Structure 1
Amino acid sequence: MPPSFAQALASFQPALPLAVGLSGGADSTALLIACAERWPGEVCALHVHHGLQAAADDFAAHCQALCERLAVPLQVARVSAGAASGQSPEDAARIARYKAFEAIALTGIAGAAIASIALAHHADDQVETLLLALSRGAGLPGLAAMPAQWQRAGIAWHRPLLGVPGRAVREWLRARGEGWVEDPTNTDLRFTRNRIRAELLPALEACFPAFRETFARSSAHAAQAQQLLLEVARQDLATVGTPPRIRLLQQLSTARQANVLRHWLASCHRCTPSAAQLAELQRQIAACTTRGHRIEIKVGLGFVRRSNDRLDWYNSPVLAP
């Protein structure tokens, strides 16, 4: 059985002071109310005004009224969340939101530092994230879906409701007579995540009633396997060097070579190769048996190129003389 809303909050033990990401929707409204009641005077709220729809002002007004009633400090951040070329509006808004949360957390609210941030993603959100990852052919990082907790920039981040079904959160609010704001875009079936919520989740529940728990278990297995691959990649990168030596890369198995190349590009250059780019890079590495052999392939926003006996990454192509 999945945990109830109350059970999930009872087991939540964040470092204080705590900030709660507050959108104005049911999930974040419930999380803020529960946290403010449990730790009075130790909780604040963060709201990001994306300015992407007419209802954005209503969201901010709801958050302001709720926080005044709860005597919780509220910080509203206005961001520009326009999507870049090839980027979805949802991804652009998510990136802008996390950057705003992190900036506020580092400066504090009303002179008070923030030790932890809680986000209100629940079990249905986790399933939607996993199904989206599967639809895109994601690897282990995507199949691991959303972590329940992690550290970034000296802040502890938490998702305490990740095992709680979305309907249980709303039932908790209704039982208390609390209201929330409904995002009108949540019913727009042009968005893939909304189609998953409206069409796939009911079908899964009819066929596999325990799908939230079993899917979460699969994501946990994927996360554990990804952690192991990361440990192997760090060891292999220490062996092949930074930047990696081609001869030492050639001595690795195909799988370990791919693993360490992904880690090198991500950790050193914040670059993620596509499956096709990585396969082509490995083909060129295997063919690199003479001093004059040239390697140059576009990866992410830059290029991987041979430099003497090593690979290196540049953010622009290097023209041949």
Structure 2
Amino acid sequence: MTCSFEQAMATFQPTLPLVVGYSGGADSTALLLACAQKWPGQVSAVHVHHGLQAAADDFETHCRQVCAALNVPLTVQKVQAQPLPGQSPEDAARRHRYKAFEALALMNQGQPAMLSIALAHHADDQIETLLLALSRGAGLPGLSAMPATWTRAGISYHRPLLRVSGAELRRWLAGQGAAFVTDPSNVDERYTRNRIRARVLPALEACFPQFRDTFARSAAHAAQAQALLLEVAAEDLAQVGVPPRIKALQLMSRPRLANVLRHWLLSCHQATPTAAQLDELMHQISACRTRGHAMHLKVGTGFCERRGPELHWYNP
């Protein structure tokens, strides 16, 4: 269920000290102010300078001024987040942000606790993520949307505001009288997420006033189902081996085979097959009944091939 900003912050109990991801925008400003008020002297901030627009230097200057006024230490991580061919600007910026956070974690090595980072994604961001996943025909991992907490690369991440609407967050921030910057790209409707924010969310609000709660509940169901599938995949991978034995794979039902192949490719090789690639891979596994049957097909950024009785993946 959605809740007030104050309720969300009251239940947020991360390991301290805490780092807040701070862009200078309204959402991260509210989170930084609330955390600095709740844990004075225990909060720092990290600002990722993406280098994507002329205003980026002004954003950095603003963040430095705010943090100085709050007596909050600030680290600025500069990246060049230009998208690769075929990559969306949002995805490129997101990937570079997490690389910057991981660089900060390396600087934090030797500290007694894992680095804790809080991010200011809220309930509207969660719905936008779910709708984007639906528009792309995503499976359970995509439909699970954004987790409230997770650990990766030595960092414990937190999203304490996922049950707070954007309007509620701005209500609290207005009461603080705090200044924030507005990224002009956030209202550029060439980006799908911005079109969802500007057009779809107001329509959903009019038709289904409780959509934030019901959509979030569906995402939670998807996340629970995905967690179960991961448990089954891990058990199945232990049975078929790494690299997997083709004959063992052939004994599996098609849904279970798809599940274990996705898990093997992602957990062992950080490879994600398209739906068409996975379908063809399963077809080839089923057809591989003779000693001379060769297998070599594109999967993710590399290739799957048969080597004797086993299935291998490699990136040339």
Q: What interval of TM-score do these two structures reach, taking the shorter chain for normalisation?
A: over 0.9
Equivalent in the alignment of 1:274: 274
Do structure 1's residue 92 and structure 2's residue 95 form an aligned pair?
no
Q: Structure 1 residue 152: deviation in Å?
A: 1.6
Equivalent in the alignment of 2:180: 180
Do structure 1's residue 102 and structure 2's residue 102 form an aligned pair?
yes
1:149 to 1:310, Cα distance in 2 relative to 1, 3 A: same
What are the Cα deviations for residues 135-189 of structure 1, in whole angstroms up to 9, with x where unaligned? 0000000000100001122321100001100011111111121121011011111
Query: What is the distance in 2 between the residues matched to 1:47 and 1:2?
Result: 28
Q: What residue identity is the alignment partner of 2:122?
A: H
Give % identity.
Answer: 68
Q: Secondary structure, in 3 states, of the residue corresponding to 1:75? A: strand
1:133-282 to structure 2, matched below 5 A, reads 133-282=133-282
Query: What is the distance in 2 between the residues matched to 1:190 and 1:153?
Result: 33
What are the Cα deviations for residues 250-304 of structure 1, in whole angstroms up to 9, with x where unaligned? 0000000000000010011110000000000111111111100111110011110
1:8-27 to structure 2, matched below 5 A, reads 8-27=8-27
Do structure 1's residue 3 and structure 2's residue 3 form an aligned pair?
yes
Q: What residue identity is the alignment partner of 1:159?
A: R
Q: Structure 1 residue 113: deviation in Å?
A: 7.1
Q: Structure 1 residue 54: deviation in Å?
A: 1.0
Q: Secondary structure, in 3 states, of the residue corresponding to 2:46? A: strand
What are the Cα deviations for residues 93-132 of structure 1, in whole angstroms up to 9, with x where unaligned? 10000110121133139x9976310000000000000000
Q: What residue identity is the alignment partner of 1:124?
A: D
Q: Secondary structure, in 3 states, of the residue corresponding to 1:297? A: strand
Bigger shift: residues 57-66 or 265-274 = 57-66
1:206 to 1:255, Cα distance in 2 relative to 1, 3 A: same
Q: What residue identity is the alignment partner of 1:167?
A: A
Would you say the 8 A contact 1:107–1:113 is kept in 2? Answer: no
Q: Secondary structure, in 3 states, of the residue corresponding to 2:190? A: coil
Q: Structure 1 residue 61: deviation in Å?
A: 1.2
Q: Secondary structure, in 3 states, of the residue corresponding to 2:181? A: coil
1:152 to 1:234, Cα distance in 2 relative to 1, 3 A: same
Q: Secondary structure, in 3 states, of the residue corresponding to 1:312? A: strand
Contiguous gaps of at least 5 residues in structure 2: none
TM-score (norm 1): 0.96
Bigger shift: residues 66-75 or 1-10 = 1-10
Q: What residue identity is the alignment partner of 1:227?
A: A
Would you say the 8 A contact 1:148–1:162 is kept in 2? Answer: yes
Would you say the 8 A contact 1:18–1:114 is kept in 2? Answer: no
Q: Secondary structure, in 3 states, of the residue corresponding to 1:72? A: coil
Count of matched residue positions in the alignment of Structure 1 and Structure 2: 315
Contiguous gaps of at least 5 residues in structure 1: 317-321
Q: Structure 1 residue 245: deviation in Å?
A: 0.5
What are the Cα deviations for residues 43-82 of structure 1, in whole angstroms up to 9, with x where unaligned? 0000000010111112111111110110000000100111
Bigger shift: residues 55-64 or 302-311 = 55-64
Equivalent in the alignment of 1:54: 54
Equivalent in the alignment of 2:292: 292
What are the Cα deviations for residues 210-263 of structure 1, in whole angstroms up to 9, with x where unaligned? 111111111111011000000000000011110011100000000000000000
Equivalent in the alignment of 1:311: 311
Q: Secondary structure, in 3 states, of the residue corresponding to 1:51? A: coil
Would you say the 8 A contact 1:105–1:113 is kept in 2? Answer: no
Where has structure 1 moved over 4 Å in runs of 4 or more?
A: 111-114
Q: Secondary structure, in 3 states, of the residue corresponding to 2:222? A: helix
Q: Secondary structure, in 3 states, of the residue corresponding to 2:44? A: strand
Q: Secondary structure, in 3 states, of the residue corresponding to 2:76? A: strand
Query: What is the distance in 2 between the residues matched to 1:263 and 1:112?
Result: 32
Query: What is the distance in 2 between the residues matched to 1:108 and 1:68?
Result: 21
Would you say the 8 A contact 1:106–1:113 is kept in 2? Answer: no
Would you say the 8 A contact 2:114–2:156 is kept in 1? Answer: no
Q: What residue identity is the alignment partner of 2:201?
A: L
Equivalent in the alignment of 1:319: none
